[in-house]
Amino acid sequence: MLNIIADQNMPLVETLFAPFGNISLLPGRSISAADVREADVLLVRSITNVDRQLLEGSAVRFVGSATIGTDHIDKAYLAEAGIEFAHAPGCNAEAVVQYDLAVMSHLVPEWRQKTVGIVGCGNVGSRLYRRLVDLGVSCAVYDPFLSVDEIADLGDLAAVTACDIICLHTPLTTDGDFPSYHLFNKNTLMSLNPDVLLINAGRGAVIDNQALLEAFRQGFAGKVALDVWESEPEVDRALMAFVALATPHIAGYSLDGKINGTAMIYRAFHHWVGLGEPQNTHYNKEALSPIDVHSLNQAILHSYNIALDDKRMRVAINDSRMPVSQSFDQLRKDYPVRNEFTHYAVKPDSAHATDCKKLGFSILD
């Protein structure tokens, strides 16, 4: 039997992995070298740094991260140590697109008449781009690792920063020809349109948070929605007071997204132990929820009322009785069930059925 250590916020771990060994569920941010010393398998999300310091001298031979990104994983060390690694590219991409569209619908109801810039066109950015283009929205994309053959609206960073709405979905990198660390620094921020909507649901340090705070203090009038924070789980209360929407790194926290992440690393694990493809890979069996649609914005916000997440965040972070970092992690741990667009069914004769379908809503028979 295997010893398995897993982040306590990963759904279905006990259901899927229990037949293979003993499972210990721990807070992801506090998983330590002592915790994993006798473990064979480590299952994490983005808040656990997996590197030599954590794993050297341990029995771990398989690491699974139920996330799109891997900047919290030292993949070079895992390869050097002969530790198998799997992650879940695209697992919660639809949830993050839902987050972006909810922000737009809430803060800029006329977003379909605006220009939207996307920085980073990978799993999330590419989905967002396709949805917007399908709806006839004018887009500009900055991703130096792609070509115009792949993305017709590819351009330079200046083309994106000139847009009315900007969505950040690049991984966090600090080296190479195109580092994303502090890509949105003081100079970039001051070059934005005065009524811009800037959304960061990628990595916190892509925006220089201190520069953003100073820009606000100097009169920056743009709207900003932050789901990720440079020093999280610490959150600068002063910065939070200026941003239009504040959430605790939950853009991808849909039920489907979390289940997909666990299921994807479970499939990789199943192959690793020599059992091939598991028979059952569909785990969310909730029935469709019919909705009456009066506008596309209303449908989006019915699926995800982002204002409630913002309210919960501000109440928790401003509560001086609990450390900010603890409040931040508690919000993530206690996050309510959120379903993606596919969970909601629109009547086929609705005037907005076609547009809803383009975003992924189900259509009633």
pLDDT tens digits for 303-323? 999 999 999 999 999 999 999
Closest Cα partner for 67 from 225, 228, 257? 257
For residue 118, give the H/E element and its range. strand 115-119
Point out the catalytic residue in the list 45, 87, 169, 249. 249
14 catalytic? Reply is no
Predicted TM-score of the model (pTM): 0.91
Kindly report the number of other CB atoms within 10 A of residue 26's CB atom: 16
Q: Catalytic residue among 182, 203, 312, 343, which?
A: 203
Q: What is the DSSP string of 133-198?
A: HHTT-EEEEE-TTS-TTT-TTB--HHHHHTSSEEEE-PPP--SSSS--TTSB-HHHHHTS-TT-EE
pLDDT at 275: 93
Question: Which class is domain 2-87?
Answer: alpha beta
Closest by CA to 268, choosing from 63, 55, 81, 6, is 63
C-alpha 71/C-alpha 228 separation (Å) is 14
Between CA 119 and CA 142 the distance in angstroms is 5
Q: What are the beta bridge partners of residue 165?
A: 116, 197
The predicted structure's pLDDT at residue 279: 82
CB 85 within 8 A of CB 63: yes
List own/partner pairs for 217-220 with CB under 8 A and 24 or more apart.
220/189, 220/190
Instruction: Judge whether 84 counts as a catalytic residue.
Output: no
Domain boundaries, the chain: 2-87, 93-246, 289-363
The secondary structure element, H or E, covering residue 246 is strand 245-246
Task: Tell me whether the CATH fold assigned to 2-87 matches the one assigned to 289-363.
Answer: no
The pLDDT value recorded for residue 287 is: 76
Q: Which residues of the chain have pLDDT under 50?
A: none
289-363, CATH topology level: Ribosomal Protein S8; Chain: A, domain 1 (3.30.1370)
Residue 287 carries which DSSP code? P
Could you count the other beta carbons within 10 Å of the beta carbon of residue 130? 15
Q: What is the largest CA-CA distance in the chain?
A: 62
Determine which one of 232, 270, 332, 340 is catalytic: 232
> Residue 355 corresponds to which tokens in the numbers above?
């547009």
Whether 150 is catalytic is no
Residue 132 near residue 155 (C-beta atoms within 8 A): no
Give the fold, CATH level 3, of 93-246: Rossmann fold (3.40.50)
Percent of the chain with pLDDT over 70: 99
